Amino acid sequence: MDCYFCKRNLKEIDWRNQELLTKFLTGLGKIKSKEKTRLCAKHQRRLSQAIKKARHLGLLSPIAKEI
């Protein structure tokens, strides 16, 4: 089991933790696939919901960052 959240025994993914969420985004702002993040299916679903919620509330940019 290589899941980031299972290894650290984290029960919930906090949508306010921008630093953690950006680890799972590509340079263009897309959510990385399950194969690249190496998360289990349950945490991949919860991660995508947390990212979408953070985007909706304006904590994460819905588009890529300027270089």
Domain at 18, CATH number: 4.10.640.10
19-64: pLDDT as tens digits: 999 999 998 889 999 999 999 999 999 999 999 999 999 888 877 6
Q: Does residue 65 belong to any structural domain of this protein? A: no
Q: How far apart are CA 53 and CA 16, in angstroms?
A: 9
With 60 as the cut, is the pLDDT of residue 66 above it?
Answer: no
Own/partner pairs for 38-41, CB < 8 Å, 24+ apart? 38/2, 38/3, 38/4, 39/3, 39/4, 39/5, 40/1, 40/3, 40/5, 40/6
* Number of structural domains in the chain: 1
Q: Does residue 28 belong to any structural domain of this protein? A: yes
Q: Does residue 22 belong to any structural domain of this protein? A: yes
Residue 24 three-state SS? coil
**Domain span including residue 46:** 4-56
Residue 19 three-state SS? helix
